[in-house]
Amino acid sequence: MRTGKILLIGAICVLSHVACETRHEGALPVTPVPEAYAWGRGVFELDKNAVWRVEASGEDKEILTAYLEKRGVSVGDSGEKVELVTKDVVEGIDSEEGYVLTISRRRARVEALSGAGLFYGTQTLLQLWTACPEGIPAVTIRDEPRFAYRGIMLDVSRHFRDKDFVEKQIDALAAYKINRLHLHLTDAAGWRVEIDRYPRLTEFAAWRPQATWKEWWNGKREYCGRTDSRASGGFYTKEEMRELVDYARRHYVTIVPEIEMPSHSEEVLAAYPELSCTGEPYRHGDFCIGKEETFEFIENVLTEVMEIFPSEYIHVGGDEASKASWKTCPDCQARMKAEGLKDVDELQSYLIHRVERFLNDHGRKLMGWDEILDGGVAPNAVVMAWRGVPKGVEAVREGNPVVMNPGQYCYIDSYQDAPYSQPEAIGGYLPLEKIYGFEPVPDTLSPEEAELIIGTEANLFAEYIPTAEHMEYMLYPRAIALAEVAWSLPGNKSWESFHRRALRIVDELRKRGYNTFDLKNEIGNREEAKAPVAHLGVGKTVKYNAPAWEAYPAAGERTLTDGLRGGWNYNDGRWQAFAAGEWMDVVIDLGEERPLHSIGADFMQIYGPGVFLPERVVISVSADGEKYTPLVKIEHKVRRDDQVTFKRYEWTGSASARYVRMEADAAKEFGGVLFTDEIVIK
C-alpha cells in the first residue's frame, strides 16, 4: 500500500484552459483521480492525425502500439507530439505502474518505469483528450496506484459469459486502471474451464437443463450432457482461455482463476461422485478430504490451471463448506485421527495447507476466501476478506496479505438503487456512493499491518444475473468507483467530483455499447431512512423476551428505539434480525403511562436471502408490565414473491399505557428471517 506523498507539483496557472476546465468544474477529468497534478500554461491541441511515438522494451512497445492503433491512433518513430517512454528512473515514481504525464502547449509525454505505467499514463491522456477535444490544458500529472491489487470478480459459473463478453469488460476496466480480473470459474451451477484429464467437467458439469440459475436452483439442480437438447451453459476451451489470458495481459490485467474447494463443488461431485464422502452423485457439495483421490484430482486440475494462467495467485475458494459429511465419513475421520485434527475446521484447514504447499512448490501463491482462516490459516496464503473488514484484520494479525472485499461495500450483486426500480437482485443495497466511500484500511491497523492490505476488489456473483446486458448493468458504474478506491489516495477522493465524473463515464460507456445503470435517474435510499423519526419510544429501554439474532445485531438493544429507520438494505446497521425458526417478542418501557394513538413497525421481505414478512404481528399494551391487553392482531398471508417488499404493521386508535409489546411470527412454511428497524410509538 502506498502512503501519501507531496500533493502538488509546481505552481498553478489557470487562465488559458478555462473552457475545458469550466466544463469539468475546475477538476481534472481523470478517473481514478491521480495522485498529484499541477496546471501549466496554455493548451495542447492534439490532432487526430498526429503520430505518437512509443519507446519501450520489445513487447511493451508492440502491445502499446497495437492498443493505440486499435483506437485509431497512428504510431511511428517519427512521432513528436506525443511520446510514451519507459526509463530506468522517473523522478517521483517508485511503482512499476506509476507514470508522469507532462502536457505542454507543444506536446504530451508519458514517462514510466514499465509498460504498465505507460499504459496507465496513456489512459490518463486519452481521458483528457476525450474530455477536452478542443485542446487539453497544459498539466503535469504524477500518479501511482495506492494498491497493487485492484480487482473485479466476475462469476461465470452461475451463468456462463463468453470470451467476447469478458474481453469487452477488460477493455473498460483496464481503462480505469483495474489490474486483476478474478474469474469465479467453478461452482455448483457449472464448471467453466476445460481440463483435459477430466472431460466430464465440461462435457457434463458445464451444462444444465435450465437456462437460469434460479430455475435450476429451485428445481432438481441437475446437469445434462452437452449434447442434450435442453443443454444450457458453456465453458472456455483451453485455447479460448489462453487467448483470454493473453488479451488481459495486453491490457496489463492478470486473470486470477478461482477453482472452488473443498465446497461449492456439487458439479464436480456429480461428474466424479467417487470424490465425495459417500460416493453418491447429487448428494454433496464438499469433497471428501479423507480420500487421497481428492488430492490427486485437485493437484491434476491445478497443474492444468497453472499451465493456462500465469497469475502469481491461484484462488481456491474455500468458502461456505457445510462440513457435514466429514463428521461421519470414515475416510475423513481416519484422516483427522492420523493428522491429529481436532475438528472439521481443522480438516478443511488441512486441505488448504496441503494445497498451498502444492501451489508454493510450483512457484504460486494460494488465495482464498476468509474461511481459510478457520482451523488455522495457511502461512503464505492471501486472504480475501468477504465476511467483513474484521476478517481482514484477523488475517493481517496472522501476518497474511489481504484483499479487502467485504460484502457490505464490495458485493455489486446487491441492488444499486431502490429495489422496486431494479431487476431482481440477491438483496442488499449498495449504491454508488457507498462503494465509493469504502476505505480498505481500517484505522485500527498499525502502518506495518496496513502494508499487508494489498488491495481491494468488487465481486459480481451472478445467481440473479442471467444475461450479459444485466451483468454490465450491475458492473457500471460501480466497478469504476472501486477502481478509484483501489487506485487513488483517500485524501484526493471526493464524492461530488466522482459523481460528476461517473455521470460522464456512464454516457461514454453507453456510447460504446455498454449497458450501464442509469445513474442520472438514481432514486436513492428509502425515504424513511433519510431523517430520524421523533416518537415516544426514542431512547426508551427495550426488553427482549426472545433474543434478537446476533448475526445482524444492528445497534443492539437500542436499534428499535433509536429513532433511526432502515434503508433498502437489512445490512445497513438499522435493521434488527430475528433468526429463522425464532420469533420476535419485545417490550418497550415508556417509563410512565402515556396516551397512545399509533404503534407500528416496518418489516421487509427479500426472497433470495430468505428474509420474510411476518405472518402475524400482535401489538399489546400494559400498565404494569405483567397483564397485557392486545390492541391489534395483524395477519398477513406470506407468499413466495420475487418483489422486494416493505410493509408497515400498525395499530391506530386510542389507548393509554406504560409498556408496549410487539410480537411477530414468521410463516412456518418459509421459516424466514424477520427484520424490523424501529417501533414507532405516537
593 touches ligand ACM by CB under 6 A: no
Q: Would you tell me how many other CB atoms lie within 10 Å of the CB of residue 595?
A: 10
Q: Which of 143, 144, 187, 463 is catalytic?
A: 187
Nearest-approach distance from CB 413 to ligand ACM, in angstroms: 9
From the list Zn ion, ligand ACM, none, partner contacted by residue 369 (C-beta under 5 to 8 A by kind): ligand ACM
Question: Alpha-carbon distance 604 to 47, whole Å?
Answer: 57
Closer to Zn ion at the Cβ: 294 or 422?
294
For residue 76, count other CB atoms closer than 10 A to its CB: 10
Residue 479 CB, shortest distance to Zn ion, in Å, is: 39
Among residues 240, 319, 320, 345, the one annotated as catalytic is 320
- Residue 337 CA to residue 347 CA, distance in Å, equals 10
Binding segment toward Zn ion, per CB under 5 A, in 211-219, 289-297, 339-347, 590-598:
289-297
Among 319, 331, 449, 589, binds Zn ion (CB under 5 A): 331
Residues forming beta bridges with residue 586, ordered by sequence position: 544, 662
Q: How far apart are the first and last CA of the chain?
A: 51
Q: Does 240 bind ligand ACM (CB under 6 A)?
A: no
| β-bridge pairing 99-103 and 108-112 | antiparallel
**Sheet bearing 99-103, strands edge to edge:** 36-44, 136-143, 99-103, 108-112, 82-86, 51-55, 74-75
- Write the interaction track for ligand ACM spanning residues 355-384; mark x where CB under 6 A is met and - where it is not: --------------x---------------
Q: What's the rounded Cα separation, in Å, for the pair 438 and 408?
A: 9
- Total of residues contacting ligand ACM (CB under 6 A): 4
Closest separation in Å from C-beta 319 to ligand ACM = 4
- Has 264 been annotated as catalytic? yes
Q: Is 651 in the site for ligand ACM (CB under 6 A)?
A: no
> Which one of ligand ACM, Zn ion, none interacts with residue 308, CB within 5 to 8 A by kind?
none
Shortest distance, position 304 Cβ to Zn ion, whole Å: 24
Q: Which residues contact 225 (CB under 8 A, 6 or more apart)?
A: 203, 204, 207, 231
Binding partner of 320, given Zn ion, ligand ACM, none, CB within 5-8 angstroms per partner class: ligand ACM
Q: How far is the CB of 336 from Zn ion (least distance, A)?
A: 10
Query: How near is the Cβ of 266 to Zn ion at its closest, in Å?
Result: 15
Among 45, 319, 449, 665, indicate the residue that binds ligand ACM (CB under 6 A).
Answer: 319
320 binds ligand ACM (CB under 6 A): yes
- Is 240 known to be catalytic? no
Closest CB to ligand ACM among 367 and 481?
A: 367
Instruction: Return the biggest CA–CA distance within the chain.
Output: 93
| Contact between residue 41 and residue 31 where contact means Cβ atoms under 8 Å apart | no
Q: Give the total of residues touching Zn ion (CB under 5 A).
A: 6
Give the type of residue at 146: R
Of the candidates 46, 70, 57, 52, the one whose C-alpha atom is nearest the C-alpha of residue 112 is 57
Strand pairing category for 365-369 and 382-385: parallel
Report the residue from 386, 464, 628, 649 that binds ligand ACM according to the rule CB under 6 A.
386
Question: What residue 331 binds from ligand ACM, Zn ion, none (CB within 5 to 8 A, per partner kind)?
Answer: Zn ion
Measured from the CB atom, the residue of 319 and 449 that comes closer to ligand ACM is: 319
Compute the distance between CA of residue 379 and CA of residue 391 in angstroms, rounded to an integer: 16
Task: Give the 3-state DSSP-derived string for 623-656, with helices as H, strands as E and coil as C.
Answer: CCCCCCEEEEEEECCCCCCCCCEEEEEEEEEEEE
Instruction: Collect all residues with Cβ–Cβ distance below 8 Å to 627 and sequence separation of at least 6.
Output: none
Binding part of the chain for Zn ion, among 48-56, 122-130, 283-291, 343-351 by CB under 5 A, reads 283-291
- Is residue 290 close enough to count as binding Zn ion by CB under 5 A? yes
Distance in angstroms (rounded) separating the CA atoms of residues 265 and 201: 11
Q: For the CA atoms of the chain, what is the radius of gyration?
A: 28
Q: Within 13 A of 604's CA, how many CA atoms are on the CB side?
A: 28
Give me the active site residues, please: 187, 264, 320
**Given the rule CB under 5 A, which residues bind Zn ion?**
277, 288, 290, 329, 331-332
**Given the rule CB under 6 A, which residues bind ligand ACM?**
319-320, 369, 386
